[in-house]
Structure formats: C-alpha cells, structure tokens
Amino acid sequence: MSKVIKLNGTKKGIISIAKIDEPYGKDSGTVASIGISLSGKTDEPDWKVYIPLENLDEVVESLKELK
C-alpha cells in the first residue's frame, strides 16, 4: 500500500505514505513510512519517519487532535 499527497504551500512538494515490511532487516516489525519531498521525488524524500504499526492508532489520534 502506498499513497502520494500533494504538499500544500509548495509547487512540487509531496507527502508519500507507504507500508514497509522488515525495514531494519529480518524479523523487524512492519512500519508506516511517511516521507516529505519538496522536489516531488518519492524516492528521494527530504524528511522521513518510520512509525511502528503498533503505535499507528495513537499517532493518528494525536494528529486528529491537532486539527
């Protein structure tokens, strides 16, 4: 699963979201990867964060509270 969202306030910027299995090698947990690219290149993000799936619900709720 992956998705690309236009980054508001930029000309070409994007937010890319993907599910990555074993990002740290064999037997490491699956993560949600969130990358931001100001140039629009999904494979070359300027910033990137991995969130373990076990933490995803709490992170999503916290982000909703910011709205």
Length of the chain equals 67
Please report, for the chain, the start and end positions of each structural domain, with discontinuous segments joined by +: 2-66
pTM for the full predicted model: 0.88
Nearest CA to 18 out of 44, 42, 38, 46 is that of: 42
- Identity of residue 41: K
pLDDT digits (tens, 9 = 90+) for 7-33: 999 999 999 999 999 999 999 999 999
Q: Using CA of residue 21, residue 60, residue 17, residue 51, what is the dihedral sign?
A: negative
Q: Determine the Cα–Cα distance for residues 47 and 8; give it in Å rounded to an integer.
A: 16
Sheet of strand 14-20: strand arrangement: 2-6, 14-20, 31-37, 47-52
Residue 1 has pLDDT above 80, yes or no: no
